[in-house]
Amino acid sequence: MYKVMLVDDEKIIREGLKTRIDWQVYGFELAGDYANGLEAQTAIAADPPDVIISDICMPFVDGLELAEFAHNHYPDIKMILLTGFDEFEYARRAIRLKVSDFILKPVTAKEIRELLKQIKLEMDDQRQLHHNIDQLHTQWSQSLPLLKERFWEKVLTSGVPHTEWEQHRLQFALPPLSSAYQIVVIEPDSDTITDSSAYTAPPVQVLFDSLASIIQSVLPAPWEYTSVVYQSRCIYLFSYPSVDHQSTTAIFEQITQVIHQLHLLSSQHTGLSFTAGLATGCTDIVDIPQQYEQAIQALEYRFLFGTGTILSFADLQQQSTAQMPDIDWEKEMITHLSNNDLTEAQHVSEQLAQQMMLQQTSPTECILQFRQISLRIQDWLQQLGLASVLSPFISQSQWLTAPTLHQILQEWFVMLDHVSAHLNTQIKIHSQQHIQKAIYYIEQHYAEAHLSLQDLCNHVLMSTSSFSQAFKQYTEVTYVEYLTRVRIDKAKELLRLTEYKFYQIAEKVGYTDPNYFSSSFKKHTGLTPKQYREQHRHVKELYR
């Protein structure tokens, strides 16, 4: 239903039109009637109608002035003027004001009805046209991101010619040709968005929107930029007006500083961190695919250097790639584990990681080398009967799929600690068994004067250092102290229960020198062998 307004200083005409036309039948509703253009202007401003039927000649503000007002402020309003025959020249001016139609007075209701039919058809067509245009605009707005993404995919992967770039320059807000260009690829660090439920958009979109709000504050003039989210990364193309090629190095260095400032501000104000890969820069848009590849390659080095870093392709190319000493890392690792030296095994692992960083080893090669070492350790554990110790770490891939070398190293340390703990347990069990075997051997051979520590170690197949340490932990005394205690105890028994001479008893408990036996006996009992026998003579009487 369209709204129509009547404006005429002759009340009889207004009343006639109001009463003799069924406005709703023709798709209209009467919005009001006014005696002059001044009153009508106020009503139009309050609630603009769709159609105004107005006389030309009126006091205060005439019809032409009202038409001019409507044309300037509400150009969509249809204006119909009523005019007398002698006012036809005024009608010509009305045409210039894009008045829809004019009717010569005296006007009849039939003429108005016919005109309303015509006006409604025109307005229906116009409304449909606006609707179609709105739909097209909506569809265009909805498809624009996809069109932009496809265009950028072509720009980044295969490149576009200058003509195509210019064709889309205004559409996608592209920088002009004849500029210096710098590609920067930014990816959010996954560990910076801890509560993903707080965001309705993916992390990359959250970061993209966040950077958009602060990037202009750190971008120096006359640099400009355009950006897009592509393959879950933020892609930035910075551009600088045409410059002398000799000064491009200094120009591109400005973008490196911009990214450092951007990283700092992003962390401070939004809590979001990112890793960035920077290309070397170019002066022709046809080189952008190569620049994009450089930025991606630089970004991939976060595996070695960690997240939250700014990685420049040029800097990485200049880093030293000198060969490190050739070390058998597998042998080194197993040697330290077999010696139960977890600290040194971890140190060797850190040395390996450091060499990988200096040689810029690829992520795949890093993972393969750690996996190869783990398989060698597993083979070694299998020989010890401990194959199951490492199986969970071999089957579970957390440490093989970690996004950075640092995280792989942390997972690797957990694995080494796990192996070391099991080895300690097994070593303790085996050591106790060996020590018990050694104690039994001492009980059987204490009378042998030349019984030595090496004899015991050979018997239980342990090194002297390992045996001594394990023996002390198990018995709380040294091997010599324990052997002496056994010999003295056996001597006490012989002194109490036999009549052997003192030199005979010394021989029977492993002493070749009777005097040394006597001094050792007194040192441990506080009595000489003779005094000890006298004090315990009653024991011997009991056995007669």
Q: How far apart are CA 495 and CA 408, in angstroms?
A: 68
Residues 66 and 41 sit within 8 Å (Cβ to Cβ): yes
pLDDT, tens digit (0-9, with 9 covering 90-100), for 306-316: 888 899 988 87
Model confidence at 275, in pLDDT bands (50, 70, 90)? very high
Query: What's the confidence (pLDDT) of residue 195?
Result: 47
Q: How far apart are CA 253 and CA 107, in angstroms?
A: 79
Look at residue 350 and tell me whether its pLDDT is greater than 70.
yes
Query: What's the confidence (pLDDT) of residue 414?
Result: 86
Model confidence at 296, in pLDDT bands (50, 70, 90)? very high
For the full predicted model, state whether its pTM sits above 0.75: no
Taken in order 126, 131, 133, 134, the sign of the CA dihedral is positive
Query: What's the confidence (pLDDT) of residue 196?
Result: 46
Residue 152's H or E segment, with its range, is helix 109-157
Output the DSSP codes for 269-332.
Answer: HH---EEEEE---BSSGGGHHHHHHHHHHHHHTHHHH-SS-EEEHHHHHHS--PPPP---HHHH
Here the tokens at position 39 are 């009153």
Look at residue 530 and tell me whether its pLDDT is greater than 50.
yes
Q: How far apart are CA 424 and CA 122, in angstroms?
A: 94
pLDDT, tens digit (0-9, with 9 covering 90-100), for 181-196: 999 999 998 755 544 4
Residues 359 and 323 sit within 8 Å (Cβ to Cβ): yes
Output the DSSP codes for 194-216.
Answer: --GGG-SS-HHHHHHHHHHTTHH
pLDDT, tens digit (0-9, with 9 covering 90-100), for 154-167: 999 999 999 999 98
User: Can you tell me the mean pLDDT for 96-119?
Assistant: 75
Look at residue 37 and tell me whether its pLDDT is greater than 60.
yes
In the DSSP assignment, the letter for residue 106 is: S
Look at residue 278 and tell me whether its pLDDT is greater than 90.
yes
Lookup result for tokens 């095994």: 345
Look at residue 501 and tell me whether its pLDDT is greater than 70.
yes
182 DSSP β-pair partners: 238
Query: What's the confidence (pLDDT) of residue 156?
Result: 93
Per DSSP, the three-state class of 466 is helix
